[in-house]
Amino acid sequence: MTIETEVLWLDEHRVVSLHELVEISGLREAELLELVHSGALPVRDAAGGTYSFSARVVTVARTACRLRDDLDLDTRGLGVALKLLERVHDLEEEIARLRAQLPGR
Amino acid sequence: MKYTDYYAALGVERGASADEIKKAYRRLAQKYHPDVSKEPEAEKKFQEVAEAYQTLKDPEKRAAYDALGSRPQGEEFRPPPDWARQHGGAGSERFSFDDVDFGDLFSRFGARESMQGQNFEVPVEISIEDAFRGTTLSLSLSMPEYDANGQLRRVPHTVKARIAAGAIDGQRLRLPGKGGKGFQGGRDGDLYLDISLKPHRLYRAAGHDLYLDLPLSPSEAVLGATLEVPTLAGPVSLKVPPGTSSGRKLRLSGRGLPKPRGGAGDLFAVAQIVAPAEPSERERELYRELADNSSFEPRRHFREEGT
pLDDT of B127 above 90: yes
Of B178, B260, B270, the CB nearest to A103: B270
CA distance B169 to chain A (A): 10
Kindly report the average pLDDT of chain B as a whole number. 90
Helix A57-71 with B18-32: angle, nearest 10 deg: 150
* Side-chain half-sphere CA neighbours of B246 within 13 A: 10
d(CA B34, CA B49): 12
What is the CATH topology of the domain spanning B203-294? HSP40/DNAj peptide-binding domain (2.60.260)
Query: Stretch B70-96: mean pLDDT, rounded?
Result: 74
pLDDT at position A105: 59
d(CA A5, CA B162): 8
CA distance B104 to chain A (A): 18
Q: Is B122 on the interface with A (CB under 8 A)?
A: no
Q: Which of A8, A9, A73, A90 to mutate to test the interface with B (most CBs of B within 10 A)?
A: A9
**Which pLDDT band holds residue A86 (cuts at 50, 70, 90)?**
very high
- Start-to-end C-alpha separation, chain A: 46
Largest distance between two CA atoms of chain B: 97
Inspect the interface and report whether the beta carbons of B163 and A58 lie closer than 8 Å: no
The pLDDT tens digits for B151-170 are 778 888 899 999 999 999 99
pLDDT at position B83: 81
Inspect the interface and report whether the beta carbons of B270 and A3 lie closer than 8 Å: no
**Domain B1-98 - what CATH class?**
mainly alpha
d(CA B185, CA B196): 35
CATH topology match: B1-98 vs B203-294: no
CA distance A77 to chain B (A): 13
Q: Which of B35, B187, B196 to mutate to test the interface with A (most CBs of A within 10 A)?
A: B35
pLDDT at position B110: 61
Q: Which residue of A has its CA nearest to B138?
A: A2
Cβ–Cβ pairs < 8 A, chains A and B? 91
pLDDT at position B103: 81
Q: Which residue of B has its CA nearest to A5?
A: B161
The pLDDT tens digits for A5-25 are 789 999 888 999 999 999 999
The pLDDT tens digits for A35-58 are 999 999 999 988 887 899 999 999
Query: Stretch B101-126: mean pLDDT, rounded?
Result: 81
Alpha-carbon torsion, ordered B300, B303, B306, B307, to 10 deg: 20
Find, among A27, A12, A9, the residue nearest to A67 by Cα. A27
Query: Stretch B22-38: mean pLDDT, rounded?
Result: 94
The pLDDT tens digits for B256-275 are 999 988 899 999 999 999 99
CA distance B187 to chain A (A): 10
CA B42-B48-B50 angle, 5° bins: 95
pLDDT at position B125: 96
Query: Stretch B33-56: mean pLDDT, rounded?
Result: 92
d(CA B156, CA B158): 7
Per-domain residue ranges of chain B? 1-98, 111-198, 203-294
* CB contact residues (below 8 A), chain B span 48-77, against chain A: 50
Query: Stretch B274-292: mean pLDDT, rounded?
Result: 96
What is the CATH topology of the domain spanning A15-101? Multidrug-efflux Transporter Regulator; Chain: A; Domain 2 (1.10.1660)
**Which pLDDT band holds residue B183 (cuts at 50, 70, 90)?**
confident
Find, among B277, B288, B281, B252, the residue nearest to B267 by Cα. B252
ipTM > 0.95?
no
Inspect the interface and report whether the beta carbons of B270 and A66 lie closer than 8 Å: no
| Chain B residue numbers touching A6 (CB-CB < 8 A) | 175-176
Query: Stretch B115-141: mean pLDDT, rounded?
Result: 92
Is A91 strand, coil or helix?
helix
| Chain B residue numbers touching A53 (CB-CB < 8 A) | none
Q: Which of B172, B187, B209, B213 to mutate to test the interface with A (most CBs of A within 10 A)?
A: B172
pLDDT of B213 above 90: yes
Query: Stretch B160-182: mean pLDDT, rounded?
Result: 92
Question: In DSSP terms, which residues pair with B125 in a beta bridge?
Answer: B196
Residues near B253 by beta carbon (within 8 Å), at least 6 away in sequence: B266
**Which pLDDT band holds residue B6 (cuts at 50, 70, 90)?**
very high
- Provide the CATH number for the domain formed by B111-198 in this structure: 2.60.260.20
Distance of alpha carbon B59 from the chain centroid? 36
